[in-house]
Structure 1
Amino acid sequence: MTLHVQFHTIFMMFLSGVCIGAMFDIFRVLSGKLRLPRWTIPIVDSIYWIVATILVFKMLVYSNEGQVRIFIFLGMGIGICFYFAFLSPIIIRLTLIIIRIIVVIYGFLTKTVEIIIIKPIIGLYRLTVIILGFLLAVAIFLYKIVLQLLYPVWRLFLWMTKPVHKYLVIPAWLKKLVGRIIALYRRLFSK
């Protein structure tokens, strides 16, 4: 392994250490902001370590074909220390700003959907209910008027056909229908 490859590997491991530190802060800020339940902490930690391991492995394979040497850990340690000494507050602030921007965009989109889609649908539904209620009230009112106007005619018809009733065979379904109409009339107008 040449000196150039060794310096390249140390630099790549330095960058890996910086990336590991940045991922740690991002995971920490996200888990704090999302208020994850305590049982998810081991899952989040496992995801963090899997991603960090894959990152370091990819960098190692890229820089020196995957050869593990002591200076690799030295480069990662220096990168982590550098990150937490100089870059950690910047990354935390940047992550918080990105979270705020996402929250504002999400709020804007939900408010827009509510104003453009949901409120008109609710308004249309309410208008439909009001119109149908009004039409039903008008129909019931007209129905009562028609029944009141037809009731004397019906009574006159029954009185005139009373002598013939003895000789006519009225089907049972017609008797039931007449009985229901009379019961409905009494229920509607006896109050």
Structure 2
Amino acid sequence: MEFSTQVNTFLLIAATGILLGVLFDTYRVFRGYFRPPWLITSVADLLYWLVAAGVAFLALLLGNWGELRFYVFIAMITGVAVYYRLASRHFLTLTMMVFKLIGRLWRTIKRVLVFIFVKPVHLVVRASFFPFRYTGRKYSAWYKKRHPPPPPPEEVPPS
């Protein structure tokens, strides 16, 4: 294998290591934001590693037709180490800000939808029941006037 091909493969696998670091940090933010129970966390961990293995395998196929050499391991470790040393902290901050922004946007959209769809229906239902409530209150007041409650029983002292 030519030296230029090995250098290109090294750079591609190092970039794959950086991509795996980005994927892992994104997964960490997801897990920290949603705090799933241990079973879901275990399944998500397994899915992450399956995706990471697939990405690494695809990069190996594209880079050097799947030849697994020692410099491939060094390149992957180098890519991950460079990412964690230089960019991980900034990427985590940016990802958390994006998550908070999406959460705020979701709450705002939910409030707008409630205001547009739920509140008018609620007002129409209340307005349609108003005559019945008004009539019921008037009937209740009239009934109490016409039929007063019985007097309390008199207590006779013992003789």
Range class of TM-score, shorter chain = 0.7 to 0.9
2:16 aligns with 16
1:184 aligns with none
| C-alpha displacement of 1:133 | 3.9
1:66 aligns with 66
| C-alpha displacement of 1:6 | 0.7
Using CA pairs under 8 Å that are at least 6 residues apart, name the structure with larger relative contact order, 1 or 2. 2
- 1:51-106 deviation line (CA, Å, top 9, x unaligned): 11111111111111111111110100000110110010011011101101110110
The structure with the larger Rg is 1
| RMSD between superposed Cα atoms in Å | 1.9
In structure 1, how many angstroms separate the alpha carbons of the residues matched to 2:132 and 2:8? 78
In structure 2, how many angstroms separate the alpha carbons of the residues matched to 1:54 and 1:97? 29
Q: Are residues 1:40 and 2:58 paired? A: no
Structure 1: gaps (5+ residues): 141-189
In structure 2, how many angstroms separate the alpha carbons of the residues matched to 1:35 and 1:129? 44
In structure 1, how many angstroms separate the alpha carbons of the residues matched to 2:7 and 2:50? 26
| C-alpha displacement of 1:131 | 2.8
In structure 2, how many angstroms separate the alpha carbons of the residues matched to 1:136 and 1:42? 59
Match for 2:14: what amino acid?
Answer: F
In structure 2, how many angstroms separate the alpha carbons of the residues matched to 1:79 and 1:124? 61
TM-score with structure 1 length normalisation? 0.69
Match for 2:21: what amino acid?
Answer: G
Higher helix share: 1
| C-alpha displacement of 1:20 | 1.1
In structure 2, how many angstroms separate the alpha carbons of the residues matched to 1:100 and 1:67? 42
Structure 2: gaps (5+ residues): 140-145, 148-159
1:6 aligns with 6
In structure 1, how many angstroms separate the alpha carbons of the residues matched to 2:117 and 2:40? 36
TM-score with structure 2 length normalisation? 0.82
Q: Are residues 1:84 and 2:57 paired? A: no
Size of the alignment, in residue pairs? 142
